[in-house]
Amino acid sequence: MSEPTQADNVLMDFDLLKKLVVGIGEVADISGVPQRQIRYWEDKGIIRSVKEGEGSTRKYDYLNIKKVLLVKELLDDGFTLDAAARKVEERMKTINDAFSRLSGNKGQSE
Amino acid sequence: MSEPTQADNVLMDFDLLKKLVVGIGEVADISGVPQRQIRYWEDKGIIRSVKEGEGSTRKYDYLNIKKVLLVKELLDDGFTLDAAARKVEERMKTINDAFSRLSGNKGQSE
DNA sequence: ACAATGATTGTAGATTTGTTACAATCTAGG
DNA sequence: CCTAGATTGTAACAAATCTACAATCATTGT
């Protein structure tokens, strides 16, 4: 009950991962999707950012970064944005599941 | 060879995790350590940020965020900053290991 | 052809966030 | 008390992001 084990570290990873939110610039860098486009997708309700305060900047959590990556992939594959959005929504169910199972599953409701 | 499996998703997690870098404000929020102090620790060489361009802002990757959390913990425990730094360096070896093992271990050299 | 819709992109001006480089303060030990 | 270690404050500046306009471009239906 003193030195944390490796297992502890791995588990803590997901705990931390849940809290990690990155700016739109980072998402653009990681995904290759321009900021402008990311905002557009968010306007359409396909992805969602967390806004901490009132007039603050967008922050994207892990799952939404994943969404961006998936949507991009599907667009490149030739799907329309709407179709991609629908498909991603399907896939996210699985990912959400795996994610909350790994992270100790507190409610992933609203 | 079409629909990714859950295993794929899990593995991709670490791939993505490696690329995630967040601003100093986020690190401060997550850790509770003031930005000012985070910069101080960085000046002392305890943590390290990645700087993309020349005159750009600090970004912290997963491992350095972890470092911040660990240092904070140790300080709260009553260690001096130097002692905490040394202890953290020890611990990071393990974490680095586990991390690169999980993420498909490309060289974590310099 | 042309209108309509979907999707993307451009940009100016304002706001938020982060930087540096100074210096002041606080604290534990000798 | 004095010193080195550690933290904190802040002003002036630079980088990143925001919003709200609008233009562009491709696809599809008439």
pLDDT in tens, A12-31: 678 899 999 999 999 999 99
The Cα–Cα gap between B6 and B13 comes to 11
Q: Is residue B110 part of a domain?
A: no
Let me know: does B20 contact A66? Beta carbons within 8 Å. no
* Lowest-confidence region among A2-6, A96-100, B21-25: A2-6
pLDDT band at B8 (very low <50, low <70, confident <90, very high): low
Let me know: does B44 contact B85? Beta carbons within 8 Å. yes
Q: Is the pLDDT of residue A108 over 50?
A: no
Contacts of B104 (CB under 8 A, 6+ apart): B11, B14, B15
Q: Is the pLDDT of residue A3 over 60?
A: no
What's the number of CA atoms in the CB half-sphere (13 Å) around residue B104? 10
| Token reading at A55 | 């007039």
Q: Is residue B107 part of a domain?
A: no
3-state secondary structure of A5: coil
Mean pLDDT (chain A) is 87
CA–CA distance from B23 to each of A72, B27, B48 (Å)?
Answer: 24, 7, 12
Say what the pLDDT of residue A107 is: 43
CA torsion sign, A47 to A9 to B20 to B11?
negative
Q: Report the 10 Å Cβ neighbour count for A60.
A: 25
CATH number at residue B57: 1.10.1660.10
How large is the average pLDDT for residues B18-26?
96
Q: Is the pLDDT of residue B108 over 80?
A: no
The Cα–Cα gap between B6 and B29 comes to 31
Q: Is residue B97 part of a domain?
A: yes
Q: How far is the CA of A100 from the C1' of C2 (A)?
A: 51
Nearest residue for C16, CA–C1': A56
Q: Is residue A110 part of a domain?
A: no
Q: What total of structural domains would you count in chain B?
A: 1
A80 CB-to-strand C distance under 7 Å: yes
Say what the pLDDT of residue B102 is: 72
Q: How far is the CA of B83 from the C1' of D4 (A)?
A: 15
Q: Is residue B109 part of a domain?
A: no
Q: Length of chain A, please?
A: 110
Say what the pLDDT of residue A15 is: 86
Place of tokens 């300080």: B75
CA of A97: which chain B residue's CA is closest?
B6
CB burial of residue B8 (10 Å; 0-12, 13-18, 19+): exposed
Q: Is the pLDDT of residue A109 over 80?
A: no
The Cα–Cα gap between A54 and A50 comes to 11
Q: Is residue A28 part of a domain?
A: yes
* Lowest-confidence region among A8-12, A20-24, A77-81, B52-56: A8-12
Domain that holds residue A75: 6-103
Q: Is the pLDDT of residue B54 over 50?
A: yes
How close B23 comes to chain A (CA, Å)?
A: 7
Q: Length of chain B, please?
A: 110
Q: Is the pLDDT of residue B110 over 70?
A: no
Let me know: does B86 contact B70? Beta carbons within 8 Å. no
